[in-house]
């Protein structure tokens, strides 16, 4: 099944399968924070926007960033977190796995090990 996620949980059999993962939808961007002259506009999201979009408290998002490296890949010159769409996909994968009982640290390792294509597939809207 393409939406299955495999994770190894310490103390349990390797390769635990989290079957039937329902992909989470990513809403359209709320704001464009910055652009440069050589690249197409890059959409970036504040921690508050990601919190609202994913239904995860801002304190949890900040904690995941500090503890597990699941956070924004960008920061403003003032140090404010700015999430890209790929960062949000990682957050959603951690959320999906955590909701199914996988420890957050393990879920974070799984999300960080996924390439952009896999993250997109895991968080894509279901096909009609």
Write the pLDDT tens digit of every residue in 35-71.
Answer: 455 555 567 899 999 999 999 999 999 999 999 999 9
Residue 99 has pLDDT above 60, yes or no: yes
Is the model more confident about 39 or about 78? 78
Confidence of residue 120 (pLDDT cuts 50, 70, 90): confident
Label residue 121 by pLDDT band (50, 70, 90). Answer: confident
Q: Is pLDDT of 15 > 80?
A: no
Check the CA dihedral 101-105-109-111 and report its sign: positive
Non-local (6+) Cβ contacts of 5 within 8 A are 17, 18, 21, 93, 96, 97, 110, 122
Distance CA 8, CA 115 (A): 18
Question: Does the predicted TM-score (pTM) go above 0.85?
Answer: no
Count of alpha carbons within 13 angstroms of residue 118, beta-carbon side: 11
pLDDT at 5 over 80: no
6 strand-pairing partners? 17
Rounded distance between C-alpha atoms, residue 125 and residue 128, angstroms: 9
Q: Which pLDDT value is given to residue 111?
A: 95
Whether the predicted pLDDT of 20 surpasses 80: no
């Amino acid at each position: 099944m393409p939406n299955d996620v495999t994770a190894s949980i310490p103390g349990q059999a390797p390769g635990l399968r989290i079957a039937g993962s329902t992909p989470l939808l990513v809403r359209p961007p709320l704001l464009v924070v910055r652009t440069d002259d050589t690249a197409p506009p890059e959409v970036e999201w504040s921690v508050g926007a990601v919190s609202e979009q994913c239904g995860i408290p801002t304190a949890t998002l900040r904690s995941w960033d500090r503890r597990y490296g699941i956070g924004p890949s960008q920061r403003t010159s003032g140090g404010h977190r700015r999430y890209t769409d790929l960062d949000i996909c990682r957050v959603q994968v951690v959320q999906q796995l955590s909701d199914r009982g996988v420890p957050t640290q393990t879920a974070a390792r799984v999300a960080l090990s996924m390439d952009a294509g896999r993250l997109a597939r895991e968080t894509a809207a279901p096909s009609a």
